[in-house]
C-alpha cells in the first residue's frame, strides 16, 4: 500500500520547492535583463561605427598620399578638422555641399593641364587605366578623392561622433554628407579643368550622359574657357553595344557645353583599352 504523507507534512515539503522555483525565476529574469542590456551595448556603435577608427583611417590614408614629408602629420590633422566640421553634429540629410567649402580651401591641388580625366558610370575601367598609365588623373588621384573614395560617413544632430554605418543612402536625401562631398569635390575638380580634358562615358547604357549624374549636373556646367580648351569624350563600348557618338544624350552634352570649348567624341572598344592597360610598353596615346 502506498504511503501517503499527512497533508501538513506535504505542505512543508512543497515550501522549499516553491522557494527554489522563485529563486530560479528571479535568476532567469536577472539574466535576461543583463543579456538585453549588454546585447544592446554590443549592437550599438560597432567598432567601425565609432569616430576613433574612422579618424585614424582618414588621417593615415592622407599621410599615405602625401608621403613621408614632415609636414604631412599637421596637414592631415588640418584636413581631418576641416572635413569633420562639415558634417559632425548635423542631421545626416541636412549637409549642403557648401559645408565642404572650408575643406576645399585647406587643400589646393596643382594644375594638371591636359591630364584630367572625368568619368560617368565607368569607374572600374577608368581606375584600372589610371593605375596602369600615369598620363591621366581622376579626382581619386588627388588627395581628397584618394582619401574619401569608397568611404561612408555621417553624424547626427547634436552628436560629436562620426558613424560609418546606418548613414543615408545616395538617393535617400540629396543633402547627405557623402553625396554633398562628391558634389563639392567634383565641382572643384571641374573648376580646375585646364587644356584638353578627357571624359570616359559608358557606351553600354542608353544614356551615357545622364542628367542625374555628377558629371552632367555639376562638372560639365563648370567647364569653361579660356583655361580649358576642349572636351574629348571616349565612349567605352562592349561587343555590339548600340550607343554611338550620335546618341541623343551626347547631343544634349554638346548643346549644354560651353560654346567656347571644342568637342570631340570617339567610340572605343573596352577590350582595346584593357589590352592597352595590360601592356606596359604601350603609350597612353595608343589606348584609344
Among candidate residues 93, 113, 245, 284, the one labeled active-site is 113
User: Is residue 203 a contact residue for ligand N1C (CB under 6 A)?
Assistant: no
User: Is residue 223 a contact residue for ligand N1C (CB under 6 A)?
Assistant: no
Cα gap 261→224, rounded to integer Å: 7
Residues 139, 109, 195, 255: what is their CA dihedral angle, to the nearest 10 degrees?
Answer: 50
The answer to whether 271 and 237 have CB atoms below 8 angstroms apart is no
User: Is residue 100 a contact residue for ligand N1C (CB under 6 A)?
Assistant: no
User: Is residue 174 a contact residue for ligand N1C (CB under 6 A)?
Assistant: no
Of 6-14, 154-162, 210-218, 239-247, which part binds ligand N1C (CB under 6 A)?
210-218
User: Is residue 38 a contact residue for ligand N1C (CB under 6 A)?
Assistant: no
Applying the rule CB under 6 A, the residues between 108 and 147 that interact with ligand N1C are 118-121, 123, 139-140, 145
Active-site annotation holds for 62? no
Cα gap 205→260, rounded to integer Å: 28
Backbone angles phi, psi at 88, to 5 degrees: -65, 135
Q: By C-beta, is 59 or 136 nearer to ligand N1C?
A: 136
Active-site annotation holds for 13? no
Q: By C-beta, is 76 or 147 nearer to ligand N1C?
A: 147
Among candidate residues 135, 173, 194, 284, the one labeled active-site is 194
Cα gap 181→86, rounded to integer Å: 9
**CB 128 → ligand N1C: shortest distance, Å?**
14
260: helix, coil or strand? coil
Of 11-19, 44-52, 84-92, 209-217, which part binds ligand N1C (CB under 6 A)?
209-217
Of 58-66, 94-102, 212-220, 244-252, which part binds ligand N1C (CB under 6 A)?
212-220
CB atoms within 10 A of CB 171: 9
DSSP string, 65-129: HHTT-TTHHHHHHHHHHHHHHTTTTS-TT---GGGGHHHHHH--PPP-TT-BEEEES-HHHHHHH
Which residues would be at the binding site for ligand N1C (CB under 6 A)?
118-121, 123, 139-140, 145, 149, 170, 178, 182, 186, 189, 213-215, 219
Amino acid at each position: 500500500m502506498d504511503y501517503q504523507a499527512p497533508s501538513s507534512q506535504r505542505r512543508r515539503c512543497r515550501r522549499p520547492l516553491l522557494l527554489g522555483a522563485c529563486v530560479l525565476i528571479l535568476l532567469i529574469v536577472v539574466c535576461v535583463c543583463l543579456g538585453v542590456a549588454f546585447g544592446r551595448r554590443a549592437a550599438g556603435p560597432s567598432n567601425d561605427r565609432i569616430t576613433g577608427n574612422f579618424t585614424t583611417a582618414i588621417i593615415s590614408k592622407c599621410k599615405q598620399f602625401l608621403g613621408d614629408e614632415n609636414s604631412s602629420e599637421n596637414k592631415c590633422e588640418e584636413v581631418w578638422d576641416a572635413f569633420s566640421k562639415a558634417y559632425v553634429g548635423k542631421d545626416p540629410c541636412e549637409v549642403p555641399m557648401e559645408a565642404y567649402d572650408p575643406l576645399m580651401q585647406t587643400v589646393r591641388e596643382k594644375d594638371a593641364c591636359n591630364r584630367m580625366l572625368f568619368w560617368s558610370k565607368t569607374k572600374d575601367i577608368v581606375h584600372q587605366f589610371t593605375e596602369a598609365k600615369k598620363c591621366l588623373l581622376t579626382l581619386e588621384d588627388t588627395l581628397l578623392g584618394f582619401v574619401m573614395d569608397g568611404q561612408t560617413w555621417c553624424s547626427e544632430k547634436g552628436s560629436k561622433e562620426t558613424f560609418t554605418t546606418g548613414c543615408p543612402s545616395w538617393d535617400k536625401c540629396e543633402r547627405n554628407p557623402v553625396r554633398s562631398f562628391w558634389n563639392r569635390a567634383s565641382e572643384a575638380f571641374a573648376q580646375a579643368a585646364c587644356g584638353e580634358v578627357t571624359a570616359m562615358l559608358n557606351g553600354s547604357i542608353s544614356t551615357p550622359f545622364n542628367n542625374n549624374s555628377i558629371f552632367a549636373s555639376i562638372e560639365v556646367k563648370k567647364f569653361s574657357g579660356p583655361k580649358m580648351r576642349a572636351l574629348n569624350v571616349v565612349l567605352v563600348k562592349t561587343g555590339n553595344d548600340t550607343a554611338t557618338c550620335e546618341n541623343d544624350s551626347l547631343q544634349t552634352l554638346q548643346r549644354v557645353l560651353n560654346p567656347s570649348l571644342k568637342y570631340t567624341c570617339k567610340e572605343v572598344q573596352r577590350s582595346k583599352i584593357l589590352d592597352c592597360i595590360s601592356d606596359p610598353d604601350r603609350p597612353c596615346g595608343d589606348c584609344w
